[in-house]
Amino acid sequence: MPEALGSKILAEFQRSKQLGTPLVMRQFAKDWPANHWTWNDLCRAVGSRTTGIRGNAFAHGQSTTFFPKPIAQKSIAEYFRQLERNETSDERLFAFNLRANAPGLNHSNTKRFHTLGIRVANVPAYFFGAPGSDTRIHYDFDWIDLLLSHFKGQKRVWLFDQCQNDRLYQIPGTVHSAVDFSRLEELREEFPKVEQLEGYEVVLEPGDTLYIPKGYWHHITYVTGSFSITYRIWPQNLREWLKTSYSWLVGGTDIVLNKIPGTSAWQAQRRAKAFEAKYRRPL
């Protein structure tokens, strides 16, 4: 995995952006407020608020929708304490709006992005997870460049480009793979093409920022209780804007369709049929 540190970051970032390859910018976010929040700060800031916790349906492929339903309503502070204690669990806060739930924290976490010559949408998505949890392999439906900055512990990321779609057994019409990467060792015989996968692996440490180019598949394993913040880089030309707008339309329609009773089962059936025709095996 290409890496950059200190004064090399700008040149390496511009190169990666041009080539559409991932890059780890070590310690890029080390001075951000988020890197200095303690679990106590986080717990105090969320107070007695509760939220819908997501479980392993998202990670392990039972759902082909973008955002499956939460499994339970839970105290956010209690969940943070679980992460602090490094308790193994499947529970996740996925694309969580921490800004709205912890307004007392200093959220000025976009420092240094201007040094990369880019503009990011100031809509941070927060991802929290415990050891034992993972983010199912996917690529982001809005076809946009991502900057994922990591804090508190370690997470391992696998990345694959769009040439790997078949080897990943992409489910037609979705941004998901049929392979549950958390059980990869057991599944190698069932999904033999994964043996030919070519990609990158990286372990992120607190303060690191990972550039994930548009369309790049990512699978994330939480090594310890930790969290990340993802920012999206604004499209830089008309072609990129058109592609992103179209992707929002398709993704948004999918989310709405899946809320209509009966439609989600019909969608799943349609996709299973297309998968079977493509890979000559059941989904």
Distance separating the N- and C-terminal Cα atoms of the chain: 31
User: Considering the rule CB under 6 A, would residue 148 count as an interface residue with ligand AKG?
Assistant: yes
Least Å from the CB of residue 106 to ligand AKG: 22
Q: Is 220 in the site for ligand AKG (CB under 6 A)?
A: yes
The Cα 40–Cα 92 span in angstroms is 19
230 in contact with ligand AKG (CB under 6 A): yes
The two three-digit tokens of residue 138, written as one number: 């996917």
Please identify which residue in 135, 209, 221, 258 interacts with ligand AKG, judged by CB under 6 A. Answer: 135
Cα 178 to Cα 58: distance, rounded to the nearest angstrom: 12
What is the nearest approach in angstroms of ligand AKG to the Cβ of residue 65? 15
CB of 220 to ligand AKG, least distance (A): 4
**Which three-class secondary structure state does DSSP give residue 238?**
helix
**Triad 137, 161, 201: Cα angle to 5°:** 65
Choices 1-9, 63-71, 140-148, 233-241; region in contact with ligand AKG by CB under 6 A: 140-148
- The answer to the question of residue 110 lying near ligand AKG (CB under 6 A) is no
151 versus 190: smaller Cβ distance to ligand AKG: 151
Over its C-alpha atoms, the chain yields an Rg (Å, rounded) of: 19
Q: Taking contact as CB under 6 A, which single stretch among the options 46-54, 75-83, 127-135, 250-258 is the one that binds ligand AKG?
A: 127-135
**DSSP structural state of residue 248:** H
Q: At closest approach, how far in Å is the CB of 125 from ligand AKG? A: 6
Task: Using DSSP bridges, classify how beta strands 209-212 and 146-151 pair: parallel, antiparallel or unpaired.
Answer: antiparallel
Quick check: 233 binds ligand AKG (CB under 6 A)? no
Nearest partner of 135 among 235, 207, 32, 204, judged by Cα? 204
CB of 148 to ligand AKG, least distance (A): 5
146 contacts ligand AKG (rule: CB under 6 A): yes
Residue closer to ligand AKG by CB (options 234, 279) is: 234
Picking from 105, 125, 104, 101, the residue whose alpha carbon sits closest to that of residue 49 is: 101
CB of 198 to ligand AKG, least distance (A): 21
Per CB under 6 A, 29 contacts ligand AKG: no
Would you say the C-alpha torsion 97, 132, 194, 67 has a positive or negative sign? negative
DSSP code of residue 71: S
Binding residues for ligand AKG (CB under 6 A): 127, 129, 135, 140, 146, 148, 218, 220, 228, 230
